[in-house]
A and B are shown apart, each in its own frame.
Chain A
């Protein structure tokens, strides 16, 4: 490519500068001068003074300048066969450039242009940032022009807009990757921004052109529709007034063409738009109504200017008291629509008319003959699942409909829809959305919004983010807050001092609740830290762990501790005992729809994605259940029975198993350390067919819990006593157990097979009973301390046999009197 030059003295550049000079005060003054001269001239002429002619004639001069400014200088057309940069540069930038601009001069000009304001507000690329990142080295200017020219060709734009120049300037900034990363942007985003701005300008131009909608006589030949007007909403009228904005999407164009084809054919004049909620069915109806109103379109006369009425099911139901009355009313409304000859009736959420339920009534008997006859033009919008269930009940209905499927929008389409809808969204909420907020809304809605599909799900999140705007600006952070506040998930990278402290001291905090098992605590803590620092794989759960070991060694306790310390409470633990999932049919219970079974795994995680999910006694689950969990462990996704993706990507998955507990004890008793037998132990589990290798491979870590020894159990006694004291704190009573009594409790409560569990029972029976009895006897008052001595413990536990009974958790045979 030849070296591109910038001609500061070109005709276009001169005009651009003149336009800049005239803009604002000058143009207003010249307009005022025109009227003053004209009025003064007329007044003088009225008084028979010939000077009036001169003033009237003179008024033509400022009028001509204003006309020139409006017609040529302000829009400043491009040069047809562009050769130099000034031939295609946006006028407001061209007007501000000096004769020999440096990159910084370009940045300054861009920052003060319309594009500069756009990128500052939408992308956070402020004029100051642009100026600071650009150099003063004029030798680099040619390269920037070259880049901008290439980007113009690459994006198919006619003008070198501010957006393209910003991208070109950024490319030439040495640390541009870092700069853009700080703004959560890539160079391609800047180009998308340029296209977005261009699109907005095109939309403004499109809407500023007068619409040709058929004129005043358009509807005179058609019927009078008083009842339909009462129970329906004329969306064609709203579009004609400019109240509804139809979005042009490529995926919608095909559906629109199909609708036009169906309504112009001689077949049944009905269409069922079938798609999941949020897929844009209503938008397609709006776009269709808009297309029909366009007098310049090439539609046949039988379709042009037809009006689309959306029937309001709730108004109809409210107006009719009984079924018979409702059927009569529906017939009246539809009869009116048919008689009018220019009406297309739209039954939005048409399932409301075909099934019994709250807010819905089955009118199949009335509507089916109409649909089968196919003379009245009807559009039905229906949820995919509902369509299938109605079809299963009544195949004649489905056969009578011309189905058009509407799929979810792609990422690019969703962003395009959001960009178009922002115009009304920003007006309603009095906020400005940044580009990053749109991207974040798409990303997070994909992950956390389940009841809609794109673009509806992203739009829903974007709208709710308006409440979290900072200084009327909706940023990425606002979108994250909207998700965090509504779902209780943590999506932003840890930034608060308190959270950072918790993460860095996670092991210590967990050890306040459990004894030893250092390795298990460490791997879980590491996983959480990786997740909150934003360095983990986001397409998987935060961490997946298999805890192996004998019972009562802290496997479940660690999960609870994690839920409490980090996830915000023990209620953040979603626990499933897999010994209740031993049949193949139990898979259905795992993935049941939340509306039917609120305790299913999928529904609980859908409600509370930021949790610890604990699968207890995994070895007892049916193989089909384990197979179902494979995808969950691998991709962090599980599909519920409605085929909705439920994300486990914000959860820690922990599975526990007692499998091989005896072998672990054997290894430990033979003096092996955990690290020494870990691998061979896992191999044994596979070779003994207790677990399949592909299942074990799915876990990030397999952690072996070793049996607790007596000294550790003494620490467990302290933890259990701390728990008891916490319970008694509300009554201002403290319990203290003598050291020799603690040792005695450990002695009596220790069972190598059952770990710390019997110990808990022994302590509860002895200490809690002592306190209870003393409280009832009135010997303990608020503020006092109950001291439990060895004698008391010995007395309470009684014989060896009784201690064993308590430790085993069996009902006591004797009263502790």
Chain B
């Protein structure tokens, strides 16, 4: 039994902790990939879901119309991307914070039974009258 407990505790603070960190990192990477902030920034002023591209040949009117279309498309694109960058940043920050808490919290899990026992013995419940 001692060997089993020892084995578990050894794993918890070595490979277990490392795996916990890996999981948090993978989650963060997935979030970064989902929001692709770098891609959003590099294409910030690109037209959004453009219907036509390239140089438009034709009359001055047609060229002006294409220019205006593209400008509007770029503006829409910039707005959508900005919103997505902001949302993405918030989600990423949350992810980092929760990831850190998760990794740090991992180390405290083995002492939770003792903490719980102490709190029970003290009888402390903050919301009791």
Contacts and interface: CB of A to CB of B under 8 A. Distances in A.
Given A64-B109, A212-B30, A339-B50, A57 B115 contact: yes
B41 to A, nearest CB: 10
B49 A220 contact: yes
Interface in A8-62: 11, 14-15, 18, 41, 45, 48-58, 60-61
Interface string B100-129: 000000000110111111011011110111
Contacts of B12: 64, 67-68
Interface stretch (A166-174, A221-229, A364-372, A428-436): A221-229
Contacts of B26: 210
A215 interface: yes
A18 B4 CA distance: 9
A465 B106 CA distance: 53
B11 A72 contact: yes
A214 B40 CA distance: 11
B50 A222 contact: yes
Contact of B36 (A18, A58, A64, A214): A214
Contacts of B117: 53-54, 57
B16, B46, B116, B122 interface centre (most CB from chain A within 10 Å): B116
B47 A68 contact: no
Given A49-B125, A61-B113, A218 B36 contact: yes
Contact of A14 (B3, B33, B35, B84): B3
Contact of A217 (B16, B43, B47): B43
A61 B84 CA distance: 41
Contact of B35 (A217, A338, A340): A217
Interface in A322-366: 338-341
Contact of A11 (B7, B52, B53, B127): B7
B36 A217 contact: yes
A576 B116 CA distance: 96
A649 B84 CA distance: 68
Interface in A200-238: 210, 212-224
B12, B113, B124, B127 interface centre (most CB from chain A within 10 Å): B113
A444 interface: no
Contacts of A220: 43, 46, 48-49, 77, 80-81
Contact of A53 (B30, B52, B54, B120): B120
- Could you say which interface size class chain A belongs to? 35 or more
Nearest to A341: B53
A52 B114 CA distance: 13
Contact of A48 (B77, B81, B112, B128): B128
Contacts of A71: 11, 15-16, 19
Contacts of B54: 338-339
Contacts of B8: 64-65, 68
B34 interface: yes
B113 A60 contact: yes
A796 interface: no
A224 B50 CA distance: 6
A295 interface: yes
Given A14-B3, A68-B16, A339-B54, A217 B39 contact: yes
A72 B81 contact: no
B109 A60 contact: yes
A441 B128 CA distance: 75
Nearest to A305: B39
B113 A212 contact: no
Given A11-B7, A224-B49, A53 B35 contact: no
B4 A50 contact: no
B19 to A, nearest CB: 5
Given A50-B124, A53-B120, A67-B16, A221 B77 contact: yes
Given A71-B16, A215-B33, A57 B49 contact: no
A331 B8 CA distance: 66
A487 interface: no
Contact of B33 (A41, A57, A213): A213
B119 A53 contact: yes
Interface in B1-38: 3-4, 7-8, 11-12, 15-16, 19, 26, 29-30, 33-36
Given A71-B16, A212-B29, A217-B36, A340 B7 contact: no
A52 B127 CA distance: 13
A629 interface: no
A339 B53 contact: yes
A63 interface: yes
B33 A295 contact: yes
A213 B39 CA distance: 12
A216 B110 CA distance: 39
Contact of A51 (B52, B81, B113, B120): B120
Contacts of B120: 50-54, 57
Nearest to A213: B33
Contact of A339 (B4, B15, B36, B52): B52
Contacts of A65: 8
Given A72-B11, A215-B39, A220-B49, A54 B16 contact: no
B116 A55 contact: yes
Contact of A223 (B16, B34, B52, B110): B52
Nearest to A14: B3
A219 B40 CA distance: 10
Interface in B42-97: 43, 46-54, 77, 80-81, 84
Interface in A687-731: none
Given A214-B36, A214-B39, A223-B53, A58 B30 contact: no
Contacts of B3: 11, 14
A94 to B, nearest CB: 15
A222 B43 CA distance: 10
A52 to B, nearest CB: 8
Contact of A221 (B43, B110, B129): B43
A55 B47 CA distance: 57
Contacts of A213: 33
Contacts of A53: 115-117, 119-120, 124-125
Contacts of A212: 29-30, 33
Interface of A: 11, 14-15, 18, 41, 45, 48-58, 60-61, 63-65, 67-68, 71-72, 210, 212-224, 295, 338-341
9 contacts: A53-B116, A53-B125, A63-B109, A71-B16, A71-B19, A214-B33, A215-B35, A215-B39, A339-B53
The 6 A-B pairs with the shortest beta carbon distances in the complex, nearest first, are: A57-B116, A215-B36, A53-B119, A48-B128, A54-B120, A60-B112
Given A14-B4, A52-B120, A220-B43, 20 more contacts: A11-B3, A48-B128, A49-B125, A53-B116, A53-B124, A54-B117, A54-B119, A58-B116, A63-B109, A64-B12, A64-B109, A72-B15, A214-B36, A215-B35, A217-B35, A217-B39, A219-B49, A221-B48, A223-B51, A339-B50
